[in-house]
Structure 1
Amino acid sequence: MKALPITYHLEISQDSLRNDPVVSLESSTPFQTFAVGDKLAWAGFSDAAWYPEPRNGQLLRITDVLHYMWDIPESNIGHKIRLCVELCEIDD
């Protein structure tokens, strides 16, 4: 059995996994583990189309995590993590 390359994807949607992602990233190495309740800083995603736009003092709180896995024979394996986030205050 031939080992296939793996691609890793991270998508972030705001308020619902049904909404289009506002952030999409791809990597050749795995992303960290995410859990519901984890908080993320939004400032690093300057091109994201947040609605409403986060304010200073706000963070993104993960409300749902969805994993996709696929295997394209003779090509590659993929792992996508889809995060749903909501705005929250730093102290929440």
Structure 2
Amino acid sequence: MPYFSRISGRDELRPIASTLIGAKGSDLMLIKLAIAAFEKASWPTTIQTGRYMYPLASNSRNVESSVNDSSGTYQRKQSDLEQLCKDLS
């Protein structure tokens, strides 16, 4: 998410973070679910240090896909993700 930084005086990219909360003892399952979902969506599952945590790209997320998978449509990826959730439960 690009924004103009008044500190550096240039356009910067704001990282977006999230939190997962689950029942006691479900930590490992939540981590595996998050990793699997990110991999299915071709999103990075690791970050770098410094100003550019993720590899930059010219797309709506401003982040390069971790896997070059251009074959899937949104509907296909959504159905794959739903199947993954069923498989993990």
TM class, shorter-length: under 0.3
Q: Which has the higher contact order (CA 8 A, sep 6+)?
A: 1
Which has more strand, going by share of residues? 1
Give the TM-score of the pair, scaled to structure 1: 0.23
Give the TM-score of the pair, scaled to structure 2: 0.23
